[in-house]
Amino acid sequence: MTYLAKPRLHHPTLPKNRRGYTRRDYEGAISTLCAGCGHDSISAALIQACFELDVEPHRVAKLSGIGCSSKTPTYFLGNSHGFNSVHGRMPSVLTGANLANRDLLYLGVSGDGDSASIGLGQFAHCMRRGVNMVYIVENNGVYGLTKGQFSATADRGSKSKRGVVNTDAAIDMAQLALQLGASFVARSFSGDKEQLVPLIKAAIEHRGAAFIDVVSPCVAFNNHAGSTKSYDYVREHNEAVNRLDVMVPRAAISAQYPPGSVRAITLHDGSTMLLHKLAADYDPGDRIRAMNYLAERQAQGQVVTGLLYAEAEPEDLHASLNTVSGPLNALGERELCPGAAALEKFNASLR
């Protein structure tokens, strides 16, 4: 951590986006996490993605649970809405907020302890329901905030800093999300922003339950030899299946790619997602094969990263529940109190 606030001065050529903001305008308070924490890099990636997508900070709600990871919303998007919930309960609060105001961008930020242990049930149902959100698990394999106990995502056989071997089976959050019906699933690494930033952008553009499992080394408790969530281990075992470029509508696509290696996917607002295949046989449009692929590679000790699955036409909770099209706070008295006749009609329909 640092005690000094980051000076306001910036590079003389720092660009502005379409909203007139610089990247620096998307920063938050100075981080109090340990120096070198992967979570800080994820915050930086979120800042970059929001800047590049011209996101309006006041149209964003950041929600989190408890943990070092769950503290990070303080460190990015300092001008957005935020809610720091109870341990493991972020998904419910997010679901409620989303139902009340469907127009905001919901960023759910959680940890492997927060989501895979105490909050596993909440996580499961939020994915099942298809809440329109970006759900990020900052996955370090330990409870960082409480001094490094193994979390439920720690691999069986991996060693704690004090040499204790983990005997429990690991939960793979990405596989779980696929199984639970998330319409966008990705995995990345905090130390690879070239991969992570476009994935976050694509997740923001996705209208449905988007989940990203980001392996994020804990420098204080889980970055030693014998850990499977360390910088060195992840770099050695990372198998990226593809690379993304997300192009906002106004940006010209100038890069040249060898034919056949790139698939362009048009997103709902006219932006384009360019998918560079790295593993020839990998198809992020096939949920079942994706699940198999992940299981196979996991057995071989590899960490598969990239865009794992994306549904082209996702359906979200609001569509399933057939809710009103605008946020509840925009409804007038007439819509909220339609009168005795309307109530009578509604009651009759239930008889």
Ligand X SMILES: Cc1ncc(C[n+]2csc(CCOP(=O)(O)OP(=O)(O)O)c2C)c(N)n1
Site residues, ligand X (CB under 6 A): 66-69, 87, 111-114, 118, 138, 140, 142-146, 151
What is the closest distance, in whole angstroms, from the C-beta atom of residue 96 to other proteins in the complex?
A: 32
Q: Among residue numbers 139 through 198, which ones bind other proteins (CB under 8 A)?
A: 190-191, 193
In single-letter form, the type of residue at position 222 comes to N
Query: CA 91 from chain center: how many Å?
Result: 12
Among 95, 153, 222, 223, binds other proteins (CB under 8 A): 223
Site for Mg ion in 124-153 (CB under 5 A): 140, 144
Q: Report the 10 Å Cβ neighbour count for 237.
A: 16
Cα–Cα dist 242/283, whole Å: 10
Residue 102, phi then psi, degrees to nearest 5: -80, -5
Residue 95, C-beta contacts closer than 8 angstroms, at least 6 positions apart? 126, 129, 131, 317
Is position 254 an interface residue for other proteins (rule: CB under 8 A)? no
CB 212 within 8 A of CB 187: yes
10 or 58: CB nearest other proteins: 10
174-to-21, 142, 183, 197, 263 alpha-carbon distances in Å: 33, 17, 12, 18, 23
| 263 contact choice in other proteins, Mg ion, ligand X, none (CB below 5 to 8 Å, kind-dependent) | none
The window from 53-61, 98-106, 153-161, 227-235 that contacts other proteins (CB under 8 A) reads 227-235
User: Does 14 engage in binding with other proteins (CB under 8 A)?
Assistant: yes
Our finding on whether 217 is near other proteins (CB under 8 A) is yes
State the CB neighbour count (10 A cutoff) for residue 171: 17
Span near Mg ion by CB under 5 A; candidates 49-57, 112-120, 276-284, 295-303: 112-120
Nearer to ligand X, 19 or 156 (CB): 156
Residue range at the interface with other proteins (CB under 8 A); choices 28-36, 93-101, 265-273, 293-301: 28-36
Contacts of 333 (CB under 8 A, 6+ apart): none
Binding partner at 10 among other proteins, Mg ion, ligand X, none, C-beta below 5 to 8 Å by kind: other proteins
The minimum distance between CB 21 and other proteins, in angstroms, equals 16
Q: CB count, 10 Å around CB of 112?
A: 29
Q: Which stretch binds other proteins (CB under 8 A): 4-12, 116-124, 202-210, 298-306?
A: 4-12
Conformational region of residue 275, where left means phi above 0, alpha means psi within -120 to 50, and beta covers everything else: beta
What lies within 8 Å, CB to CB, of 188 at 6+ separation is: 195, 196, 199, 212, 213, 214, 215, 305, 306
**Single residue of 16, 36, 331, 337 touching other proteins by CB under 8 A:** 36
**Which residue, 151 or 242, is less far from ligand X as judged by CB?**
151
Alpha-carbon 332 to chain mean position:
34
The residues of the shown chain that bind Mg ion, judged by CB under 5 A, are 111-113, 140, 144
The residues of the shown chain that bind other proteins, judged by CB under 8 A, are 1-4, 6-14, 24, 34-38, 40-41, 43-44, 190-191, 193, 217, 219, 223, 231-232, 235
